Chain A
Amino acid sequence: AQKVTQAQTEISVVEKEDVTLDCVYETRDTTYYLFWYKQPPSGELVFLIRRNSFDEQNEISGRYSWNFQKSTSSFNFTITASQVVDSAVYFCALSEGSGGYQKVTFGTGTKLQVIP
């Protein structure tokens, strides 16, 4: 069975600080995909990144960076120089599956508050 753990329920940082959101996953599959989503106060979930299990290269997109380490089953998300607009709930997700259905398991989310 697949599982995603986001141990940090809430994090508060002051604007311009760096912050890392942790994500640890469990799966028996050798092929799987990891995702991060952002849920701002308005409610919709916004897809941020997808990473497959064969690609351990870290990725950077502007102020966002992701560190994927299979050895520790972690896929952590770092925001550099945080801004108030980064305030949201962030979800990590894991996808396995075969056939047409792509089962996705979401973590419980980390609420990030960036204080001006």
Chain B
Amino acid sequence: SQTIHQWPATLVQPVGSPLSLECTVEGTSNPNLYWYRQAAGRGLQLLFYSVGIGQISSEVPQNLSASRPQDRQFILSSKKLLLSDSGFYLCAWSGPRGRSNSNQPQHFGDGTRLSIL
């Protein structure tokens, strides 16, 4: 069965420090991968998505970046964190389209609570 791992679970970082959040998927090949941010009490904002190794698309311009060095690894990074980067970050994967070209549900990791001081 497929599983998704995301770490760390919580992180407290000072303003201006770098960031690296990692997400890995097991049990599937060539997944679509996503990074979302959820501000306190609000909905999900898509940050990045990837349909293959080295292919990253950004939905929202910001000081964050993403990379996909391996098929099932997705990394969210920043060189200098801002206070506004605080939030709950979720990684997700979805399978390729089904035989009937159906869109697949996204499956989420447990999330990382990031606090910027």
Q: Name A's B-contacting residues (CB within 8 A).
A: 32-33, 35, 37, 42-47, 50, 52, 91, 95-97, 99-102, 104, 106-109
**Which chain B residue lies CB-closest to A35?**
B105
Query: B51 in the interface, Cβ–Cβ < 8 Å?
Result: yes
Chain A at the B interface: SS class? loop
Binary CB contact string for chain B from 88 to 117 against chain A (1 if under 8 A, 0 otherwise): 101010101100001111111111010000
**Which chain A residue lies CB-closest to B59?**
A103
Query: B46 in the interface, Cβ–Cβ < 8 Å?
Result: yes
Please name all residues of chain B whose beta carbon is closer than 8 Å to the beta carbon of A95 when the two chains form the complex.
103
Query: B83 in the interface, Cβ–Cβ < 8 Å?
Result: no
**Which chain A residue lies CB-closest to B110?**
A44
Please name all residues of chain A whose beta carbon is closer than 8 Å to the beta carbon of B74 when the two chains form the complex.
none
Across chains A and B, the number of contacting residue pairs, with CB separation under 8 Å, is 58
Please name all residues of chain A whose beta carbon is closer than 8 Å to the beta carbon of B106 when the two chains form the complex.
35, 45, 47, 104
A101 vs B96: C-alpha distance in the bound complex, in angstroms?
A: 9
Q: Find out whether the CB atom of A102 lies under 8 angstroms from the CB atom of B111.
A: no
Query: B44 in the interface, Cβ–Cβ < 8 Å?
Result: yes
Q: Find out whether the CB atom of A100 lies under 8 angstroms from the CB atom of B102.
A: no
Q: Find out whether the CB atom of B51 lies under 8 angstroms from the CB atom of A104.
A: no
Cross-interface CB contact of A100 among B43, B44, B52, B92, cutoff 8 Å: B52
A95 vs B49: C-alpha distance in the bound complex, in angstroms?
A: 14
A33 vs B90: C-alpha distance in the bound complex, in angstroms?
A: 21
Q: Name B's A-contacting residues (CB within 8 A).
A: 32, 42-44, 46, 49, 51-52, 57, 88, 90, 92, 94, 96-97, 102-111, 113
A108 vs B88: C-alpha distance in the bound complex, in angstroms?
A: 15
A6 vs B72: C-alpha distance in the bound complex, in angstroms?
A: 33
Q: Find out whether the CB atom of A100 lies under 8 angstroms from the CB atom of B32.
A: yes
Distance from A38 Cβ to chain B, minimum over Cβ atoms (Å): 11
Sample of 7 more A-B contacts, CB < 8 Å, known A44-B109, A95-B103, A107-B43: A32-B103, A43-B113, A44-B111, A45-B108, A46-B108, A47-B108, A96-B103
**Which chain B residue lies CB-closest to A96?**
B103
Q: Find out whether the CB atom of A102 lies under 8 angstroms from the CB atom of B90.
A: no
Distance from B5 Cβ to chain A, minimum over Cβ atoms (Å): 12
Q: Find out whether the CB atom of B88 lies under 8 angstroms from the CB atom of A106.
A: no
**Which chain A residue lies CB-closest to B49?**
A101
